[in-house]
Structure 1
Amino acid sequence: MISHVAMETYWREVRSIEEEEEGEEEEEEEEMKSMDEVELEEAWLTEAGLSSLVTGSFSEEEALLSTLTRQQAATVRKRLDNYTETLKTRNRQPIRDVRDIFPQVVPPLSTDDLSSCDLTRLGFISHIELSTFLLALGVQTKRTRPPRRRTRDGGVFGVSLNSLLENDRKTFPGVKVPVVFQKLLCILEETGLETEGILRVPGSAARLKSLRRELDRSCGAFDWSAVRQVDAAGLLKLFIRELPTPLLTHTHLSTYRVSSVVHQIQALQLLALLLPEANRDTLRALLVFLRQVVSHQDRNRMSLWNVSMVMAPNLFTCPRHGNKRSIARQREEMEEAVAGAHLVQLMVTHQDLLWTVPVFLLSQVRQMNQASNQKQFGLTRATRRLLRRKNDRNQVTELCEGVIRVHAPLHAKVSMAIQLDGQTRARDVIARFGCERRLHPDCVLLDVYRVNPHCDWMIKP
């Protein structure tokens, strides 16, 4: 268990944030309220690219539904059932029955390489897969309305990434990361990588407010030569904190409660894939910079853990470090602080993996494209159902550790997903298919899997 002393860097950053906010005109905050069940499910279905299921129409979503695995389809069905039942209790107009949508259900590429259409479809599938993955791990997502943040139409701080990029592209066509964010990173890279305590040592709160006002008023004509590295660090963190929508949106909250490090990395990879493009590109630029900071830790004294503890309160909503707190609340705050810093640490360490599309998701995007194209040639409902069954059988699951899919094309059971444990042997699997074996009967399959987790498991005559 990490002690409070070891987390002092985190709490110091929290106090620094609170001091910067003192004296500013505060906006009235709403209390966190449980989201309306109907509104929650509508939002989930929309983010999954299935908004037509709410309105009752049914167009291109057929292509998406036809590519879902059995587990993913179950996740969508559960959401739709909950939505329908809630509507019934409120005497509202019911939508299509879930059985009409799932009739007789039978039990490394980079994101830069995909078209905008493929990225959109990848986001839909990633959204469904992340919910399915967390559900399989027993992780319950919080059903709460995110806190409202101040949104501004002009200036730099409190402005959405899309608005900033739209304005920047008038001068710099094709830019993917807001220019002001790039400029702050550039100053820190040029003057601060070898400075002891970079990002950790706070500057003057009064000077930071002055620079903020000046940047908001005259971003294009701003004199960057007067900005010191400590100022740039403060402005960078302030920019991230005041984004109307957090850089990692609100989906990251669920990954706090994933216990396995491997599963946390897998969840973060899915989260990165479903982030809006502007958020994803800005996060990538930030993580590349943080990795540079850590690479100079012998001179700047900023280890990976120190960097993670400084950035966590800025990337995630940090708990207020008040004095009047119960012991249970203090323990909860400590757990949230450690979890947030741990997530930042994982993102910095495994950032290259975050932008890689898992093969099985890429396969689903291709299947969705094929289904969409085939629909234009007037495929019948029976043919689409057959395709859906075929896709489900051929789906290769990569996320669950220790799971193999055995293929036996010459037997009745074409393929079977099998969870391995320390006692599973070759003969145990062969017995399910009733055929000869090449591996020694006492071979422990989990050992084979660990040596080569990506090998093909094939039953041959």
Structure 2
Amino acid sequence: MLSSPSTTSTLPSSLNPNPRRVAMETYWREVQSIEEEKDGDEEEEEEEERKSMDEVELEESWLMEAGLSSLVTGSPTSEAIRPPAEAVLSTLTRQQAATVRKRLDNYNETLRKRNRQPIRDVRDIFSEPDDDSAEQCPSPLPSRAESPPSRSQSPIKTIRRHSTRVRPTLAMFVLEDHLPEQLSPPANTDLGTVPPSACPSHSPPVSQLKPASWLLRGTPYSEGVAEHRRGGACWDCLLLQGDKNGELQFAAVPPSQGLTCADDLCSRDLRRLGFITHIELSTFLLALGVQSKRTRPLWKRTRDSGVFGVPLTSLLENDRKKIPGLKVPVVFQKLLCILEQTGLHTEGILRVPGSAARLKQLRRDLDRCSAAFDWSTIRQVDAAGLLKLFVRELPIPLLTHTHLSTYRAVLGVSSEVHQIQALQLLSLLLPEAHRQVLKALLVFLRKVVFHQEQNRMSLWNVSMVMAPNLFAPNFHGNKSSIAKQQEEMEEAVGGAKLIQLMIRHQDLLWTIPNFLLSQVRQMNQASNQRNLIRTKSHLLKGRTHKNNRSQITELWDGIIRVHAPLHAKVSMAIQLDEQTAVRDITSRFESDGSPAQRLYEVGGNICERRLHPDCRLLDVYRANPRCDWLIKP
């Protein structure tokens, strides 16, 4: 049984002479709480050791996640599910193509050693020499950065995860580096800002925030860090210069720059974005000298009904029968709502545990019938415990088995700005359900930190509490050497550091850099070439040819035709200029009492993309002149 809140709560960090020690006590108390909650429960059938995947499994899995399954299976797939391998390969830069070539070489060589014939040889795919494979990714926006002067590369430290036997005492290890606890202002929209009154007094002034200009450039992250690996300095590293306290914060990029968030793309474009992001992340980490060894996921029993231990996709499927279009499970939303309404000003929220017996009873009641559950009986401490239990009991972790080892590998990156970029790529790779739940969780955690003057939960304390829930520790036995105890401490601090970065820079995690969207456009364009060839005979007919010439004239003159099938004004021709924004178009179709209207970019070299109200249309028009413009809620 857990102790009562009065006996387990610690002193506020502002009153304790050693806040770093208090943070570590918070971590170990959370681990102890997790272990005590398992006492008396039926043990889960799962392997204690996670075995590494063999070379064939590893490379085959990597190639399939890169959208190159036809190179592995030898059979074509539906273009609606996966684009042709040629379309993916046509978008790659020199560094990205080298990564794919290396994976294919390793895969084929391993098959040969096992006396199995490879499906396709790498030389049949990459027929040109390396020197002739110039960058192929077009840039809809000009590059915003210039090559910096060289500087020596800082050493790379890798924090590894090991199984240990016992938790170290706090007197034995005292942390030397306490990470900063200040945050950038929260955003009401993905790239927006909030009024100064909503920001805590300890937030830095806007003038001290650095622009996230690396989101706007047209070259991949992996191309920019080539000099970093060779002992020089890339332009992103220079963003860290001049920071006296080691803290890195970014100002929101103006929506007029046309950046896209993951929620603004349709599922097909998101799937293709995942292929390119997967290749880019591997190339980026390889260029930085960081490698992640993927392991087989632990076997964990899944449930088909209830709330806890049920996959997110199953929960959403059941909830969407009642609430179409739901993105986060209802139970998770209820818990967050209770905590935001009554818990943000409560001292020790998330840190102070409740009664283990009451938590088990509430869990059984929710699993039995969540629809008829009386949420008015939930106390703040109960909601916090159930929230952490929900995240911890997911059969597929919130950060997924596939990417957990890569998240930990990010700690081996020496530059914080590169860590943020790697976390951004990882966030874009998460399945939609996991990405939406993680996004909702990070928004809530940021609100907790903003009220730290009342709840005494600093950013570091919040990160320490959530670390064992998102990055489950693997502690067994009761004996351990001093070295393994130190590794256990590194694991605790490493998980908290990752959570801290994700909370502080969460608005950047869901933003798609220009170079990735540009490569998705090129992939779509390559996939559409076959359809264009098939319809070539129809385009040569007189009437169709005349209409096509008329369309070319309109596009050349900067005239677009906006379609609104749900309005009285079915369509409208609009002349674009440098200042025309999306809200200028949608305002013409809005009326009193009607829902807010959004403008979508449809077709051409994109499937469907929702545009931000402040986005400049002329930039979108230049990047995709053949698209249709659609107005809908």
TM-score by length of 2: 0.58
2:394 pairs, out of 217, 230, 243, with 243
Residue 147 of structure 1 and its aligned partner are, at CA, apart by 2.1
1:9 pairs, out of 26, 30, 35, with 26
Contact 1:48 1:128 in 2 (8 A): yes
- Give the corresponding residue for 2:57: 39
Contact 1:319 1:333 in 2 (8 A): no
- AA aligned to 1:332 is E
- Give the corresponding residue for 2:497: 342
What value does the CA root-mean-square deviation take over the aligned residues? 1.7
The alpha-carbon distance between structure 1 residues 194 and 321, as it changes in their structure 2 partners (threshold 3 A), is farther
- Give the corresponding residue for 2:124: 100
Contact 2:23 2:464 in 1 (8 A): no
* Cα deviation code 1:15-40 (max 9, x no counterpart): 11111111111123222212122112
- Give the corresponding residue for 2:371: 220
- Give the corresponding residue for 1:71: 95
1:259 pairs, out of 389, 392, 414, with 414
* Cα deviation code 1:123-175 (max 9, x no counterpart): 11111111111111111112322322221111111111110000000111100
- AA aligned to 1:99 is R
Partners in 2 of 1:6 and 1:198 — Cα distance? 14
- Give the corresponding residue for 2:199: none
- AA aligned to 2:94 is R
Structure with the higher helix share, 1 or 2: 1
- What pairs with 1:30-429 in structure 2 (closer than 5 Å)? 30=47, 31-57=49-75, 60-105=84-129, 106-107=132-133, 108-250=259-401, 251=403, 252-320=407-475, 323-378=478-533
Contact 1:196 1:300 in 2 (8 A): yes
Partners in 1 of 2:116 and 2:307 — Cα distance? 43
Q: Percent identity?
A: 77
Contact 2:388 2:469 in 1 (8 A): yes
Structure 2: segments with no counterpart, 5+ residues = 1-18, 78-83, 134-258, 535-633
Partners in 1 of 2:291 and 2:317 — Cα distance? 37
- Give the corresponding residue for 1:29: 46
* Cα deviation code 1:267-296 (max 9, x no counterpart): 000001111011111111001100110111
Contact 2:424 2:509 in 1 (8 A): yes
Contact 1:15 1:321 in 2 (8 A): no
Q: SS of the counterpart of 1:131?
A: helix
- AA aligned to 1:57 is S
The alpha-carbon distance between structure 1 residues 322 and 214, as it changes in their structure 2 partners (threshold 3 A), is same
Compare 343-352 and 103-112 and name the one that shifted more: 103-112
- Give the corresponding residue for 2:541: none
Q: SS of the counterpart of 1:197?
A: coil
How many residues in Structure 1 have an aligned counterpart in Structure 2?
A: 378
- AA aligned to 1:364 is Q
Contact 1:63 1:368 in 2 (8 A): yes
- AA aligned to 1:65 is L
- AA aligned to 1:231 is D
Partners in 2 of 1:230 and 1:6 — Cα distance? 19
Contact 1:149 1:242 in 2 (8 A): no
The alpha-carbon distance between structure 1 residues 6 and 292, as it changes in their structure 2 partners (threshold 3 A), is closer
Residue 48 of structure 1 and its aligned partner are, at CA, apart by 1.3
Compare 312-321 and 18-27 and name the one that shifted more: 312-321
Contact 1:256 1:336 in 2 (8 A): no
Partners in 2 of 1:3 and 1:87 — Cα distance? 51
Q: SS of the counterpart of 2:348?
A: coil
Residue 4 of structure 1 and its aligned partner are, at CA, apart by 5.8
* Cα deviation code 1:50-106 (max 9, x no counterpart): 111101235622111100111111111111111111111112232200111112142
TM-score by length of 1: 0.79
Residue 321 of structure 1 and its aligned partner are, at CA, apart by 7.2
- AA aligned to 1:9 is T
The alpha-carbon distance between structure 1 residues 211 and 243, as it changes in their structure 2 partners (threshold 3 A), is same
Partners in 1 of 2:477 and 2:355 — Cα distance? 22
* Cα deviation code 1:172-199 (max 9, x no counterpart): 1100001100000001011101000000
* Cα deviation code 1:425-444 (max 9, x no counterpart): xxxxxxxxxxxxxxxxxxxx
Partners in 2 of 1:116 and 1:207 — Cα distance? 41
Structure 1: segments with no counterpart, 5+ residues = 380-461
